[in-house]
Structure 1
């Protein structure tokens, strides 16, 4: 009976998740740290200067996606050299790079459409949350619960109206949201990179 072949990191071959984790422990610190720092820089840039220009917003996000995608492509080639699972990583990097290039070609369209969908989904979420709070059983409702439900519905409707009637100006709001998301992502990646480095020790 043959024994399972071993990957370079000593994990059974044929397990993509285990192979990828082993490879990331070798090179992942630099890769994750680089992506984390890049995300933090983009987040800070969007927060300190919430651009009213849809073109500038689209260019920043598009450039970020291209750089991040190319970094992922580079990681996939390193994984290939280590005989670990690399196909999905390569596909991820290529798709992200191509999407980033598409955003760079049509930055205004990307910004306006993104603002519409982000604010639209937020509006739907707030309205549904308010309805759920108002529909709660009587014994579970209080004055505060009713008030919060009404406020959620009102703000949800307001966001929906803004998303439909004023999509260009909503890019500023989207810049703030994207900045916060990028900052949170960057910090998470940096923390994970440090933990990964400690694991490798």
Structure 2
């Protein structure tokens, strides 16, 4: 798993940058309509999914843990595509899609952090990312009636926070190459 993350550190970096861009756009466009937010989210989720799937398939033969990234990518793309296909669904359902995506990704990231605890230092960044994702996902699922527009700031803050954590993790994973050579 450590070798897999080291080889794919750039994917974490790209996912982090995409997440921060999404968050900044959501913050800066405070008058954004719900449909615009959902389209923006769908594009982000699809791009994130494509990135994760590409990395997993690239390392299918070289890593036994490639399937985690594949599952994350498929779920992310599915949520993005469903959001684009069914815009007529009520905002509550679309916000719940976002919540389930965050919850599912968080669970997989926490599992990965637990599996890596004996292989790497500072696996807490991955665990923190997973815990924040799970808490955000649960909150959104439990409180969909809070209103999707009221969630824009929370979604933006979550996206920026996760983006920074992914970028930190990317550079940590990149630095592992020195440890792997020893």
| TM-score normalised by structure 2 residue count | 0.64
- 1:67 counterpart = 2:23: no
Q: Give per-residue Cα distances to partners, 1:152-179, cap 9 Å, x unaligned.
A: xxxxxxxx8x93xxx7xx3332111100
Q: Structure 1 CA distance, aligned partners of 2:78 and 2:6?
A: 28
The partner residue of 1:95 within 64, 75, 84 is 75
- Cross-structure match for 2:172: 195
The partner residue of 1:85 within 59, 65, 84 is 65
Q: Structure 2 CA distance, aligned partners of 1:181 and 1:102?
A: 21
Which residues of structure 2 form unaligned runs of 5+?
99-142
Secondary structure at the aligned position of 1:171 is classed as: coil
Secondary structure at the aligned position of 2:64 is classed as: coil
Shift in Å at residue 106 of structure 1?
Answer: 2.2
Secondary structure at the aligned position of 1:69 is classed as: helix
Kindly report structure 1 stretches of 4+ aligned residues shifted beyond 2 Å: 83-89, 106-118
Shift in Å at residue 79 of structure 1?
Answer: 1.7
Shift in Å at residue 192 of structure 1?
Answer: 1.0
Rg: which structure is higher? 1
Q: Is the CA contact 2:4–2:65 (under 8 Å) kept in the aligned structure 1?
A: no
Shift in Å at residue 81 of structure 1?
Answer: 3.0
- Cross-structure match for 1:21: 2
User: Compared with structure 1, are the counterparts of its residues 115 and 75 closer, same or farther at alpha carbon in structure 2 (3 Å cutoff)?
Assistant: closer
Paired residues, number: 134
